[in-house]
Amino acid sequence: MFRRRPRRRPPLWGRFRRRPPGPPGRPPLPPETQKALAQAHVLMAEGQFVAAAQAFARLSDEVKEEGLPGRAANLALQAARAYLAADSVEAAVQWATTGIGLFVRGGRAGRVNVVLPKITSALRNKGHEAEAVQVEQEAKRLLDELGLSLDELGPRGPQMAETRGTLPAQCTSCGAPLVPHDVEWHDNRTAECPYCGSILKAAS
């Protein structure tokens, strides 16, 4: 008598199963971009502010083209810091507002509450009150385009800060100096480099 045997799974079954999820975070940067980024951080650390600013500005544009507005925003703000360090205030204001615009339009408006006070106090510390006001007004205008306001963006400081681990002083991939408030935390032990997107493990 003919008996139907249970159907066997096709041999390739296992290969088509969903891959285990990779580490959190977004795609890594192309190797040349990663190298240029590491060089830009070195220029900044060496006090070659104009060259660093130009490198960060170029990288911001490049990364924006790659469709990574969050990282492009952080790079634009780094260009702004470098221009300010070089006393090129006009370029600093321009790149600061570019960075804020990238955050707002890239769906990360919440970052504005974290970065804006730093930018304006850096400008004020150097005696550039008018420029600080200019950046504030531009941030308000950009938020207003989306019907948002600074007050609506929630807490200014990062939450859970007390329970977070300690990050290495520098990103192991691109050499960026790491500030706990600037990195993006996935959980209390894992953060993402704001420039290259590498996953950083915090020590407890």
Q: Is 176 in the site for Zn ion (CB under 5 A)?
A: yes
Window contacting Zn ion (CB under 5 A); options: 94-102, 117-125, 147-155, 164-172 = 164-172
Q: Is 132 in the site for Zn ion (CB under 5 A)?
A: no
201: β partners: 190
Window contacting Zn ion (CB under 5 A); options: 6-14, 16-24, 68-76, 166-174 = 166-174
Per residue, the 3-state secondary structure of 13-44, as one string, reads: HHHHCCCCCCCCCCCCCCHHHHHHHHHHHHHH
CA-to-CA distance for 66 and 131, rounded, in angstroms?
30
Residue for token pair 């634009």 = 76
Structure tokens at 182: 């600037």
Structure tokens at 8: 């066997």
Q: Is 72 in the site for Zn ion (CB under 5 A)?
A: no
Q: Is 173 in the site for Zn ion (CB under 5 A)?
A: yes
Among 171, 178, 183, 191, which residue sits at the site for Zn ion (rule: CB under 5 A)?
A: 171
Q: Which is nearer to Zn ion, 119 or 196 (CB)?
A: 196
Q: Is 174 in the site for Zn ion (CB under 5 A)?
A: yes
CA-to-CA distance for 168 and 45, rounded, in angstroms?
17
Report in angstroms how near the CB of residue 179 gets to Zn ion at its nearest. Answer: 12
Report in angstroms how near the CB of residue 178 gets to Zn ion at its nearest. Answer: 8
Q: Is 58 exposed, middle or buried (0-12, 13-18, 19+ CB in 10 A)?
A: middle
Tell me the DSSP string of 73-86: HHHHHHHHHHHHHT
Among 80, 92, 196, 202, which residue sits at the site for Zn ion (rule: CB under 5 A)?
A: 196
Report in angstroms how near the CB of residue 110 gets to Zn ion at its nearest. Answer: 21
Report in angstroms how near the CB of residue 26 gets to Zn ion at its nearest. Answer: 12
Q: Which is nearer to Zn ion, 131 or 182 (CB)?
A: 182
H helical segments located in 66-183: 69-85, 89-105, 112-125, 129-145
Q: Which is nearer to Zn ion, 105 or 186 (CB)?
A: 186
Report in angstroms how near the CB of residue 151 gets to Zn ion at its nearest. Answer: 32
187: β partners: 190
- Give the interface with Zn ion as residue ranges (CB under 5 A): 171, 173-174, 176, 193, 195-196, 198
